Amino acid sequence: LQTGYLHAGFPQASITVHKAVLQDEILITVTEGPRLKAGKVEFEGSQQLNADQLRQQLIAPQPKPTRFGEAAEANQQPMSSPSWQPGKPAPLDPATLQKIEQQLKKACRNQGFAFAELHTKVNVDLASRTARLKVTIVNEGPVATAQKIHVEGLKNNRREDLLKFLNLEPGSPIN
54-78 pLDDT, tens per residue?
Answer: 999 999 998 887 676 665 555 567 8
**0.75 cut: is pTM over it?**
yes
Residue count of the chain, please give it: 175
Provide the total of helices (H) and of strands (E) in the chain, helices listed first: 4, 7
**Beta-bridge partners for 30:** 15
**What is the three-class DSSP state of 166?**
helix
CB neighbours of residue 87 within 10 Å: 9
DSSP one-letter code for 173: B
- Taking only the tens place, the pLDDT of each residue in 102-161 is 999 999 998 989 899 999 999 999 999 999 999 999 999 988 888 888 889 999 999 888
